[in-house]
Structure 1
């Protein structure tokens, strides 16, 4: 069994809809989706049934989706390592492949490629701030913290990875334990983990979940298989997915932002093209048509208009 997992709360369920619609449009590959959620479920979901670990529904294509209430009070991003361990060891211990996508991502490429990728090693995507030298003073401090806990650096890395996507297999699931270990090492240096981040990059920890992912990549003995920031659409190249940084596409007020010099991003348009699809339709068809037309017009205008 191949598992896709994600985390969602509040309006991020709109992102979940776009993610699932894009996954099925790209050939599915996976057998089941496990969603860790907090707070109320949206009323536009299909009828729910009780499941072994929570609630579930099936999409029109037959994709099984299980909704499992998240047990944790940290900012959602910092729940990732613990959640992945729960998925791997408790919710789906017999799965052969696991994929995590942030619930604001839209998949642009065939899903079967993700299987080919994860079978080469832990599938990682470069962050927007990709270059992070092995001798960077912050990375050297991470290494010292790890050594103090009895862990040595196995991989000398010059890249920094984004925690919005991860792929692993039954054979490489030890990496999830390594990430949880790294998270425990860095969390005392993080500040308030009810916040996305507290400090800036001059601190030992900028964002615990993502810095600990990168420390895990340094100390793990599992093979890793990274692709650069082009994988998430941060730069041109092999755009396997679109991952919008900053304001999410469903929160932006595009016309005022356009005149303030911030035209819509490609990721904004891609989201509105997938928020309604074959599996889920959380938004009225009229609104989707208007948003698509608006974004195409503003993106065209952005070629000529620049704020001063």
Structure 2
């Protein structure tokens, strides 16, 4: 399968993009990563060469190795990047990635942990999705799902499958034969905007968790999984290291992110280094480096020390 990877980032999340790229390269991915971004490019992308087109003015490509590149694509619209995922993926199929058989989106705080071939196999079974840890058990009779049925009706769709778990929005892998799923995701988002006060231009909002689009793109993704005709292939929360036993990805949820976290201070506040913290720093040595060797050694040392402290110390 000829597949490609994409991500969206801005600001300090460029550190996560580099680690994601390193993990992909180290596990066998070759080709182009399509990175949509806002703001200035990071300094490590300073050698990127302009490759603008009429569809993507300002595009530039960085040659990491002879067989591995990152194509940076400036995003100029009102959407918050987290709400732009299906539009971005579909736009790639209509431009640079039109010959690709599959596109996998990863949030820029994820690294992979297994051979890239597995992801290609996975996407061949259906739209690749991973369960959340919170609300993972979300049966068809859950009140959110019953309210989401109203969104589906407003979008002139019907329920096509009974979902039992809540999906994390940080990863989605779609084969070309299932790209209708992305169009469905956009339609559900548009219904949320038109009828349910979804605000795609902002990530934070004033509604509480009872709001049916509280998690915005993630809730829209879950609704789409309920009503799309495209098949889906799900892995449990271990698929992102939310619980033990995973082998596919590590997803560093919450804040601070691994590249900003002060591990000794954090463990003294009762928070031990997580598996995603450790896996991020494992993927900082190359082929892209955003930190010097001494910084990387120091961070790995503090993670080891903090993990040791966590064996004996718990904050009351």
TM-score range, shorter chain: over 0.9
TM-superposed deviation, 1:31: 2.3
User: What are the Cα deviations for residues 144-194 of structure 1, in whole angstroms up to 9, with x where unaligned?
Assistant: 221133210101111111111111111111111011011111234245444
- Which one of 145, 158, 162 corresponds to residue 168 of structure 2? 162
Q: Is the 8 A contact 1:17 1:276 kept in 2?
A: no
Equivalent position of 1:283 in the other structure: 291
- Cα distance change of structure 1 residues 260 and 230 upon mapping to structure 2, 3 Å threshold: same
Which deviates more, 256-265 or 182-191?
Answer: 182-191
TM-superposed deviation, 1:75: 2.4
Note if 1:113 corresponds to 2:118. Answer: yes
C-alpha separation in 2, matches of 1:152 and 1:214: 14
- Which one of 177, 180, 200 corresponds to residue 174 of structure 1? 180
Q: Is the 8 A contact 1:121 1:224 kept in 2?
A: yes
- Which one of 218, 238, 241 corresponds to residue 249 of structure 2? 241
- Cα distance change of structure 1 residues 131 and 268 upon mapping to structure 2, 3 Å threshold: same
TM-score, reference length from structure 1 = 0.95
Note if 1:196 corresponds to 2:203. Answer: yes
Which deviates more, 76-85 or 96-105?
Answer: 76-85
Note if 1:33 corresponds to 2:33. Answer: yes
User: What are the Cα deviations for residues 78-133 of structure 1, in whole angstroms up to 9, with x where unaligned?
Assistant: 12122122122233122111111111101111111000000000000101221111
C-alpha separation in 2, matches of 1:171 and 1:242: 27
When the two chains are superposed, the root-mean-square deviation of aligned CA atoms in Å is 1.5
User: What are the Cα deviations for residues 36-69 of structure 1, in whole angstroms up to 9, with x where unaligned?
Assistant: 0100001122511111441001112521211110
Q: Is the 8 A contact 1:31 1:63 kept in 2?
A: yes
Q: How many pairs were matched up?
A: 306
5+ residue gaps, structure 1, are none
C-alpha separation in 2, matches of 1:274 and 1:81: 27
Equivalent position of 2:13 in the other structure: 12
Which deviates more, 104-113 or 57-66?
Answer: 57-66
- Cα distance change of structure 1 residues 190 and 161 upon mapping to structure 2, 3 Å threshold: farther
Equivalent position of 2:44 in the other structure: 44
5+ residue gaps, structure 2, are none
C-alpha separation in 2, matches of 1:89 and 1:284: 38
Superposed counterparts of 1:215-254, under 5 Å: 215-247=223-255, 248-254=257-263
C-alpha separation in 2, matches of 1:33 and 1:65: 5
C-alpha separation in 2, matches of 1:46 and 1:258: 36
Equivalent position of 1:133 in the other structure: 139
Which deviates more, 57-66 or 211-220?
Answer: 57-66
C-alpha separation in 1, matches of 2:188 and 2:200: 15
Equivalent position of 2:221 in the other structure: 213
Q: Is the 8 A contact 1:23 1:107 kept in 2?
A: yes
Equivalent position of 1:85 in the other structure: 90
- Which one of 245, 264, 267 corresponds to residue 255 of structure 1? 264
Stretches (4+) displaced over 6 A:
none
Note if 1:62 corresponds to 2:67. Answer: yes
